[in-house]
Every structure is written in C-alpha cells, then in structure tokens.
Amino acid sequence: MVQDYLNGVAPIVTTFGPGNLHHLAYAPQISSMININGVVPTSNQGATNFVLGFSYYYEGFAFYWDGAGEASFRLGNSTETLAVGNSWTNSTGVPANGEIVLGLNVASEAAVAQNRPAPATVLVYQIPEDLD
C-alpha cells in the first residue's frame, strides 16, 4: 500500500509494549554527510506514541519497530492507520519520491549508517501521555 507524504505532516507511531523504534535517514543531499540510524527505546507496557521528524538534508527515511507488541502509524491527525515494519528489510519508508511505502528494504542503506543512540537521536520524539 502506498500513500502520499505531505510536507509538514509528520508520521505518528503508536507502539504497544516494550521495544525499540528504529529510524533511518539516508540519501543525504550533501556528499560529505552520512546515513544516520537512531533507536529510541521504551519500557512502557502499554501504548507509547512517537512523532517522527525529518531533515531537509536527507531524501530518504525509514523506520521499524522491534517490540513485544504491534505498532502502527498515521499521518498527522488522519484516522487511517497502517502497520509499521519490523526490520530494515521490511521497513516503513518515505523514499525520495515522497510516497510512503510499506515493506521497504533499506538494509544496504542501514548497513552503512552511523548509529546515533538516544538521546542523540533528534528525529524521533516520544509524546508524553498527558499533554495538559
């Protein structure tokens, strides 16, 4: 399934149970930059919400969940939710063409990425349960 990514509307990922949300920024627009891979863990037994950010310095992005439960995502305040991939060979991605692709294989891009462990990962933010 493919759906369009709208500029300024970030994906919101909802995960269930403990695990790690992985995020890859690849295809840098500046030749001296490298691919970066960030991992954000959660030990929450219930639902956790994350918002994914994007950098204009990269043309491709992908993410996956390796947790105990399921994970889904939606764009902004959309009511349509889609499953999140579970590995770099079966990730959810936004390649340079701007379409969201399920089952995207970015293993070769992830293999050459620099790992950026939390909290240095600036492209994934956990949304607090109580925003009031």
Q: Where are the domains of the chain?
A: 2-127
- Average pLDDT, integer, range 105-132: 75
pLDDT band at 97 (very low <50, low <70, confident <90, very high): low
Q: Chain-centre distance of CA 1, in angstroms?
A: 17
Structure confidence by residue, pLDDT tens digits, 68-88: 899 999 887 778 899 999 999
Tell me the two tokens of residue 34.
């490298």
Query: In whole angstroms, what is the distance from residue 72 CA to residue 85 CA?
Result: 9
- Average pLDDT, integer, range 118-127: 64
